Structure 1
């Protein structure tokens, strides 16, 4: 792992925190379960499809946490052991009967659990087989469920963009076998990597990592996200329109001249106002916004409120998000004083 300067470390810590606050802000408005008045900013009101507590994140961040828990050990997410560990965490979350699970993810994880309970071994192998089976039976299976959780993959591989692309596809394919889902994760992870290291937004940075027969199409989709009204990218359950919605919200929200980091708050507002799958689009956008502006750009009220799975004695909170992200970019190592844990 590269040695990160203080500003880079702040931006790395912002990746998970940005994901979670975007998620929790979007929860109340998911699929128009609550109207967001034009003269009000999004609030962490809870409710939504899972009847969440105020500030509680949904499946988007919970599944990202399942990845982050492995990344925080310093694991190489391209290895079989690490992918097994991610798959096991997905099942641990699913076994807890979460209140909101995407249909595709539920189908894959449910089938995986049944096969494992019947005595099969090899959790990631079984899960990937079920993911492939679902994709074969459902030609339009490139849902946004892999993209929503992909942000922590970038933290594990800041030093190698090619390896990051492999890891992003492997983690995506556990539940979403469609190549477009993998492409979207590669693009977003590379954008996060660039934002953490260089402090800039470039959603096109990973186009050269996409297979040549799809790269031009992705370039056109990203062009649309830079110029079209963000509200046209709905419905956004499709991984392409989800990425476009998040990218449009980020790129087309003006960066304030005097306090540039307010862009994080303003762009999340834009993302949620696009509508439809609001928590997922805002979680996707939040991961990249946090990577650009850092944990220090997240308002303290949001930090204090945000919480969710995993619950082991208490809900995970903002401190846990920052700690996991920091460990991931430090190769799983704490300092002599035990920081950041």
Structure 2
């Protein structure tokens, strides 16, 4: 079982509850503009649906669907570094894959498809999927896509009280589909940033540098500093996990807070993330998880919470509950 985090106070609990709903709202806002024309300067994104998957208005995409599969396991109180938890997450990913998702990344599709083809009753799905991902990375020079980073906010909810364990979990869950070390590094950095935001209310993407291998810390420090300097529009295209992290960071940090008003900054930063363009739903989903952790579920506009929905038949309110359960050490069972 994961270490309990029942020590969260009401404010911290609200921040934890904001992680998934923040991600989902960013995702649904970004869907209509993915690899299309983004909103112009001063123009707000809208949850009109469509996009590459022909989504319904307010429907989240693969980014949040895969995060839900992780959060469902976290909500059982599992240690996400354990083989049993990784098996359960892999099984959740395959259930989503089997549902025939309208949009799925090339690398993720290849890994999940090969895992499904090779999976038998006597094979552990987590170990198999991790090996398939490693084989894919060995055969493809560019395998550090943003597909692991887009879903990693859910991982942070399971280990808010142990940053070292959290870093291990981020790497293990990333490796299920993305074996490139840069993909894992980005997940470690973002999960630690979410943990710091939930626990302390701060935004610090550099805070996890010490959790990375020494030989890559200087590169990541430089990449993050570039994002902090901006402008945000520089970080496109953003299918690469490094550029996606930079884009999300820039959108959050370079968007001024309106007199410190939580809801306004969350909304403004998500619109800024989408205006960067390219992989808009993913960048906004990544940003939304950290913004939700910073400002809390109560900062998300009610109309957004009421509108978002997606696989596997969940609502925005369901995500708030799921994140709250996962962040408090689990309830023994995930939501039905």
Q: Normalising TM by the smaller chain, what interval? A: over 0.9
Aligned partner of 2:275 in structure 1 is 273
User: Where does residue 160 of structure 2 map in the other structure?
Assistant: 158
Would the alpha carbon gap of residues 258 and 204 (structure 1) be closer, same or farther in structure 2, given more than 3 Å must change? closer
1:91 aligns with 2:94: yes
Matched, 1:14 2:12: no
Match of 2:108 in 1: 105
In structure 1, the gaps of 5 or more residues are none
Tell me by how many angstroms 1:39 deviates.
4.6
| Number of residue-to-residue matches in the alignment | 331
Structure-2-length-normalised TM-score: 0.96
Q: Secondary structure at the match of 1:156?
A: coil
Q: Is the 8 A contact 2:167 2:211 kept in 1?
A: yes
1:58 to partner: Cα distance: 0.1
Answer yes or no: is 1:79 the counterpart of 2:82.
Answer: yes
Cα displacement (A) at 1:228 = 1.8
The list of structure 1 runs, each at least 4 consecutive aligned residues, that deviate by more than 4 angstroms after superposition, is: none
Partners of 2:216 and 2:46 in 1: CA distance: 38
2:31 to 27, 30, 39: 27
How far apart, CA to CA, are the structure 2 residues paired with 1:278 and 1:38? Answer: 15
Aligned-pair CA distance for 1:35: 4.4
Contact 2:263 2:301 survives alignment (8 Å):
no
Q: Please point out which of 292, 296, 303 is paired with 1:294.
A: 296
Say whether residues 1:190 and 2:192 are aligned partners.
yes
Q: CA RMSD in A?
A: 1.5
Written as runs of structure 1 = structure 2, the 5 A alignment for 1:177-256 is 177-256=179-258
Task: Report the Cα offset of residue 258 of structure 1.
Answer: 5.3
What SS does the aligned partner of 1:143 have?
coil
1:64 is aligned to 67
Normalising by structure 1, we get a TM-score of 0.95
Shift of 1:270: 0.5
1:327 paired with 2:325, answer: yes
Alignment of 1:130-141 (within 5 A): 130-141=132-143
Determine the C-alpha separation between the residues in 2 that align with 1:47 and 1:260.
Answer: 29
Gaps spanning 5+ residues in structure 2: where? none
